[in-house]
Structure 1
């Protein structure tokens, strides 16, 4: 089969992940509308967990719940506890503190990934309007509390964790100063954001190997316009980070955009620079 045709079929497969997630999400809204947004929100988290679980290595589990830690390992005088996390991916070999169905309480060292899931996010909070818990800067601020856990330090010596925000819908402009500031404060902790099927933000430790190379060289977040591929790129990046070894042999399948996604950086301000 010609290379071009193979690449196109792989891209169509990845785009179908976006369509499947969107269609499955829409079914419950068609039936009950906004009668119970709490139930709808939980269902959408479950949809994403199920989709991710289809691709996870067998040595990893996926659930929802809390992370607890204590730097005072022996006396337990400095307990830490996260807010409730929509999705937690953790090592199967590690003992859990508590588990009931998909709900889990786990120690931080076992965690490979955490994801906050939203139906729709707005760019920033406004005290005169409702729905501030769906404001992107507020969601980032919530996840930033994970910085209290030593193993979540993005510049530390610990294994890198996938820390993501996944939103089924996002209709606003891509860039906003309040969002930029929240990401600067996050400083690489939040490393992947999918805003609806088309918009994607990724943290880069450096930009030396990107092609084409951006003007800014260093640690940064970059915004991308990935039509119908934001969801699949979010999941593909997740899989490459949580795997025991980066599965380089499947890059062609995970990231099917010809010429790499670097040709689809958002305009006119794609880069959020970090110190």
Structure 2
């Protein structure tokens, strides 16, 4: 019988190994380049695991007269034409975008809202002229945790989002990874397909399973599920076997939850 938990632990270990390998070879004066390399690590991993009609790049998304700020990783349906493409650098149309990710080496508690605001701005631009909007994976991926996790609680409680007329949240960062042990998911309102009437909240999970953090793996697993469904591959949910692979904690990740933080307008 397959051991999916050990498989997902190996995913987390792979990312930490890549990070350490580069850091051990360059000095502090080149850490800006290390950050770019970390984007490449993540991009190359996504290229391996995403379906063939879904691609990844870095660059900008244009919707009508508006354009995003530069986005580290854009996940898009490659059956749509690009406005511009040169290797991995792209300018995409909003209709093609299934998700996007900001990649950081680490995030100071005082900076997390700034990064969330940037990502919300980008999603607002992407969705501005889209005729048939679909759920967008809007993620922030940090390789390391800068400070004690409790220092992020108060900051996250101050997050606000532009709202729809029906009082649900319109643009949102819905997945955050803070190092390999802490995974944060946004629930409620428009942000989760099956939680429309719930109070929007961030749930924080401490995913140190047997000294092998699963936050990286669960970030990717949520990305895959959201992209598959947004791409209309699995309209009724993902197959059971795939779900077992993506979410291998037998009791479910809720047993690792350490905090809920309500999000208020």
With structure 2 as the length reference, what TM-score do the two structures score?
Answer: 0.83
Q: 1:265 aligns with which of 253, 257, 263?
A: 257
Does the CA contact (< 8 Å) of 2:62 and 2:126 recur in 1? no
Q: Tell me, yes or no, if structure 1 residue 179 matches structure 2 residue 156.
A: yes
Greater fraction strand: 2
Helix, strand or coil: the match of 2:29?
A: coil
CA-CA distance at 1:138 after TM superposition: 1.3
Q: Tell me, yes or no, if structure 1 residue 218 matches structure 2 residue 207.
A: no
The total of aligned residue pairs comes to: 241
Please give the alpha-carbon distance, in whole angstroms, between the structure 2 residues aligned to 1:86 and 1:110: 16
Please give the alpha-carbon distance, in whole angstroms, between the structure 1 residues aligned to 2:194 and 2:78: 34
Please give the alpha-carbon distance, in whole angstroms, between the structure 2 residues aligned to 1:173 and 1:43: 26
Change (3 A) 1:252 1:219: same
Q: Tell me, yes or no, if structure 1 residue 67 matches structure 2 residue 61.
A: yes
Please give the alpha-carbon distance, in whole angstroms, between the structure 1 residues aligned to 2:250 and 2:88: 38
RMSD of Structure 2 on Structure 1 (CA): 2.4
Larger of the two Rg values belongs to structure: 1
Change (3 A) 1:274 1:157: farther
Q: Tell me, yes or no, if structure 1 residue 241 matches structure 2 residue 226.
A: yes
Please give the alpha-carbon distance, in whole angstroms, between the structure 2 residues aligned to 1:194 and 1:11: 18
Please give the alpha-carbon distance, in whole angstroms, between the structure 1 residues aligned to 2:194 and 2:223: 20
Change (3 A) 1:167 1:34: same
Change (3 A) 1:152 1:262: farther
Please give the alpha-carbon distance, in whole angstroms, between the structure 1 residues aligned to 2:247 and 2:139: 18
Structure 1, unaligned stretches of length 5 or more? Answer: 71-78, 125-134, 211-215
Please give the alpha-carbon distance, in whole angstroms, between the structure 2 residues aligned to 1:178 and 1:220: 13
Q: Spell out the pairing of 1:1-275 with structure 2 (5 A cutoff).
A: 1=1, 6=2, 9-70=3-64, 79-124=65-110, 135-149=111-125, 151=127, 158-174=133-149, 175-182=152-159, 184-185=160-161, 187=169, 189-205=172-188, 217-227=198-208, 228-243=213-228, 244=231, 245-246=233-234, 247-249=238-240, 250-266=242-258, 269-274=259-264
Please give the alpha-carbon distance, in whole angstroms, between the structure 1 residues aligned to 2:137 and 2:198: 23
Structure 2, unaligned stretches of length 5 or more? Answer: 163-168
CA-CA distance at 1:142 after TM superposition: 1.3
With structure 1 as the length reference, what TM-score do the two structures score?
Answer: 0.81
Does the CA contact (< 8 Å) of 2:73 and 2:101 recur in 1? yes
Deviations 1:194-249 (A, max 9, x none): 00001011111369989xxxxx9432221111111100100011011111333233
CA-CA distance at 1:179 after TM superposition: 2.7
Deviations 1:139-191 (A, max 9, x none): 111112124326279xx972101010000000423233223212x33755101
Please give the alpha-carbon distance, in whole angstroms, between the structure 2 residues aligned to 1:157 and 1:110: 11
Helix, strand or coil: the match of 2:205?
A: strand
CA-CA distance at 1:20 after TM superposition: 0.5
Does the CA contact (< 8 Å) of 2:187 and 2:202 recur in 1? yes
